[in-house]
Amino acid sequence: MTDHPRIPLAGVIGSPVAHSRSPLLHAYWLRRYRLKGHYIPMDIAQADLRDALQMLPKLGFVGANVTIPHKESVLALADIVTDRAALIGAANTLIFRKDGKIFADNTDGSGFIANLRQEAPHWIPARGPAAVFGAGGAARAIVAALIEVGVPEIRISNRTRSRAEALRADFGAKLVVMDWTQVPAMLDGAATIVNTTSLGMSGKHDLILPLDLLDPAALVTDLVYTPLHTGFLQQAEEAGCTVVDGLGMLLHQAAPGFERWFGVRPEVDADTRAAVLLAE
Ligand code: NAP
- Going from the Cα of 79 to the center of ligand 1, the distance in angstroms, rounded, reads 29
- Going from the Cα of 112 to the center of ligand 1, the distance in angstroms, rounded, reads 15
When comparing pLDDT for 183 and 2, which is higher? Answer: 183
- Going from the Cα of 137 to the center of ligand 1, the distance in angstroms, rounded, reads 7
pLDDT at 203: 85
pLDDT at 143: 97
pLDDT at 114: 98
CATH of range 109-245; options 3.40.228.10, 3.40.50.150, 3.40.50.720, 2.40.50.140: 3.40.50.720
Bridge-partner residues for 175, per DSSP?
154
What is the number of other CB atoms lying within 10 angstroms of the CB of residue 120? Answer: 16
Domain with CATH 3.40.50.720 in the chain: 109-245
d(CA 263, CA 187): 43
Average pLDDT of span 207-229: 91
Of all atoms in ligand 1, which is nearest to the CA of residue 246?
41
Of all atoms in ligand 1, which is nearest to the CA of residue 253?
40
Q: Give 160's DSSP letter.
A: S
Q: Strand 93-96 vs strand 61-66: parallel, antiparallel, or unpaired?
A: antiparallel
d(CA 202, CA 186): 26
- Going from the Cα of 139 to the center of ligand 1, the distance in angstroms, rounded, reads 8
- How many residues belong to the chain? 280
Residue nearest to atom 6 of ligand 1 (CA): 197
Burial label for 162, CB within 10 Å (0-12, 13-18, 19+), is exposed
Percent with pLDDT over 70 in the chain = 98
Q: Give 68's DSSP letter.
A: T
pLDDT at 161: 96
pLDDT at 213: 86
Average pLDDT of span 222-245: 95
Task: Identify how many contiguous H helices and E strands the chain contains and give both numbers.
Answer: 11, 12
Residue nearest to atom 43 of ligand 1 (CA): 138
d(CA 140, CA 147): 11
pLDDT at 260: 97
Report how far apart, in Å, the C-alpha atoms of 277 and of each of 89, 112, 167, 184, 274 are: 30, 19, 33, 35, 5
pLDDT at 280: 57
Residue nearest to atom 12 of ligand 1 (CA): 197
The pLDDT of residue 144 is above 60: yes
Domain with CATH 3.40.50.10860 in the chain: 9-106+250-277
**DSSP states along 247-260:** HHHHHHHHHHHHHH
d(CA 91, CA 95): 11
* pLDDT-wise least confident of 18-22, 147-151, 193-197, 247-251: 18-22
Over residues 27-83, the pLDDT tens digits come to 999 999 999 999 999 999 999 999 999 999 999 999 999 999 999 999 999 999 999
3-state DSSP percent of the chain in helix, strand and coil, to 5:
40, 20, 40
Assess contact for 244 and 232: CB atoms under 8 A. Answer: no
Which residue out of 70, 142, 196 has the highest number of ligand 1 atoms within 8 Å of its CB and is therefore the one to mutate?
Answer: 196
Assess contact for 99 and 126: CB atoms under 8 A. Answer: no
Q: Is 228 helix (H, G, I), strand (E, B) or coil?
A: coil
Residue nearest to atom 18 of ligand 1 (CA): 199
pLDDT at 96: 98
pTM for the whole structure: 0.95
Residue nearest to atom 17 of ligand 1 (CA): 199
Q: E-strand spans in 84-205? A: 93-96, 102-105, 130-133, 154-157, 175-178, 192-195
Over residues 98-142, the pLDDT tens digits come to 999 999 999 999 999 999 999 999 999 999 999 999 999 899 999
Largest Cα–Cα distance in the chain?
Answer: 65
Q: Is 178 helix (H, G, I), strand (E, B) or coil?
A: strand
Residue 71 bears catalytic tag:
yes
State whether CATH 3.20.20.70 applies to domain 9-106+250-277. Answer: no
Of all atoms in ligand 1, which is nearest to the CA of residue 225?
41
- Going from the Cα of 199 to the center of ligand 1, the distance in angstroms, rounded, reads 7
Ligand 1 pocket, CB under 6 A: 108, 134-139, 158-160, 163, 196-199, 201, 223-225, 246, 249-250, 253
The pLDDT of residue 2 is above 60: no
Of all atoms in ligand 1, which is nearest to the CA of residue 205?
18
The pLDDT of residue 279 is above 90: no
pLDDT at 59: 95
